[in-house]
Chain A
């Protein structure tokens, strides 16, 4: 694997998703043609399938199931999409994997939170923003308010999980 490809996985693990977003932009049209030809999928369905497949790929990288970037990424993604169709996985649901049900439950509850709470928790836990920066982004008066807001949101999520 070349250095830039190795770097790609590292970037994905620390939350830089640009590589997958670019891949989607480049491949959406061709993927839809392939899915239409192979599985008679309508274009919007094919687009949704590619999005789910790339989310699966991201999960594999994020939780360490994928440690090497495949030599032929396109073939790998298309293979994952085919597996998804063969297993008849519902749309917007990740592929079954270890701890998937726990994570899936948390994801479901996370989506139940209000938009502000989701944003605050994303800034803190995914983006890694400090309270001060997060306060600026969210329009809070200071870092203390941001910390309290984040704490409240985390408790809400915990209560939903209980």
Chain B
């Protein structure tokens, strides 16, 4: 034992000292032990040493208990701190991932928009237009001269209005022109032209068909066949339009041969399977 601890050997007295200190003796045994303590110096020294040890043991046990409690608390707090840090890290990682996904999404969206814009822009140039007007070669009709206005003023007025794009007025004026002064086919042809330009393809066909009879070889009939084909096209009748335009394209004497060939060659009138 250390110098400050009583050097008595407790072993011979251990049972008695313990029973006395722990209150395990009967009152008679206790009284007898107290008497021995007064008379036996070695026993008194042993008792003092025993008391010292148990006092130190009480301190050591308390000290150790507090140390263990603080260590356990420290560990719990560390684990909690680690868990919080991990959670925070996870949240940050998720935020970063969402931000990255958002960025990628935005880039993809921009790319899609760009590709779509390029595709549709490109298709406007590369793919043939399906609009009949893109292939239509209009017939302005005879020039409105002073002589015409003087000799046939109603026809001149109608032509003037037609060339200016005033189609209803032109039709109205044309209706007043006498067939005897101009010719029935010319009137039918002009009416067909004006109706076609007005967007009434079906109505235009009635007049143009009468002029462009297959058996007729006049230049007006040739012209009328071209405009008839375009009238069918305008009326969404591609098969009829293609048939008329092919005939025009095959007619070397038709002034609209080149235009008709172009329309036929584009293939836009060929029905898709």
List residues of chain B with CB within 8 A of the CB of A24.
Answer: 70, 73-74
CB-based contact B62/A161 at 8 Å: no
Using CB atoms and an 8 Å cutoff, list the residues of chain A in contact with chain B: 15, 17, 20-21, 24-25, 28, 47, 51, 54-55, 58-59, 62-63, 92, 94, 99, 101-103, 105-107, 110-111, 118, 121-122, 125-126, 147, 151, 154-155, 157-158, 161-162
Q: Quick one: which of A20, A121, A126, A162 has the most chain B CB within 10 A?
A: A126
Q: Nearest-CB distance from A76 to chain B (Å)? A: 17
How many pairs, one residue from A and one from B, have CB atoms within 8 Å of each other in the complex? 96
Given A24-B73, A28-B74, A102-B4: A110 in contact with B64 (beta carbons within 8 A): yes
Q: From B53-61, B183-191, B216-224, give the one contacting chain A.
A: B53-61
B65 at the interface (CB under 8 A from A): yes
CB < 8 Å neighbour of B59 from A25, A103, A162: A103
A-B residue pairs in contact (CB < 8 Å), sample of 21: A20-B66, A21-B66, A21-B70, A24-B73, A25-B73, A47-B74, A55-B63, A55-B66, A62-B59, A62-B62, A62-B63, A63-B59, A102-B4, A106-B53, A107-B60, A107-B63, A110-B60, A122-B65, A125-B57, A126-B58, A161-B5
CB-based contact B62/A118 at 8 Å: no
B82 at the interface (CB under 8 A from A): no
- Contacting residues of chain B (40-91) with chain A, CB-CB under 8 angstroms: 53-54, 56-67, 69-71, 73-74, 77
List residues of chain B with CB within 8 A of the CB of A28.
Answer: 74, 77
List residues of chain B with CB within 8 A of the CB of A161.
Answer: 1, 5, 53
- A-B pairs, 7 with minimum CB distance: A126-B61, A122-B61, A107-B60, A51-B70, A102-B2, A106-B56, A125-B58
- The answer for the CA separation of A94 and B70 in the assembled complex, in Å, is 15
List residues of chain A with CB within 8 A of the CB of B64.
Answer: 107, 110-111, 118, 122
Q: Nearest-CB distance from A78 to chain B (Å)? A: 17
CB-based contact A103/B56 at 8 Å: yes
Q: How large is the interface on B (under 10, 10 to 19, 20 to 34, 35 or more residues)?
A: 20 to 34
- The answer for the CA separation of A55 and B18 in the assembled complex, in Å, is 29
- The answer for the CA separation of A161 and B11 in the assembled complex, in Å, is 12
A interface secondary structure, majority: helix
B10 at the interface (CB under 8 A from A): yes
Task: Look across to chain B and name the residue whose beta carbon is closest to the beta carbon of A47.
Answer: B74
- The answer for the CA separation of A116 and B114 in the assembled complex, in Å, is 77
CB-based contact A21/B73 at 8 Å: yes
B24 at the interface (CB under 8 A from A): yes
B103 at the interface (CB under 8 A from A): no
- The answer for the CA separation of A30 and B226 in the assembled complex, in Å, is 96
CB-based contact A126/B2 at 8 Å: no
CB-based contact B65/A17 at 8 Å: yes
CB-based contact A101/B2 at 8 Å: yes
CB-based contact B61/A21 at 8 Å: no
Q: Quick one: which of A101, A154, A161 has the most chain B CB within 10 A?
A: A154
Given A103-B56, A158-B14: A21 in contact with B63 (beta carbons within 8 A): no
List residues of chain A with CB within 8 A of the CB of B5.
Answer: 102, 161
Task: Look across to chain B and name the residue whose beta carbon is closest to the beta carbon of A14.
Answer: B62
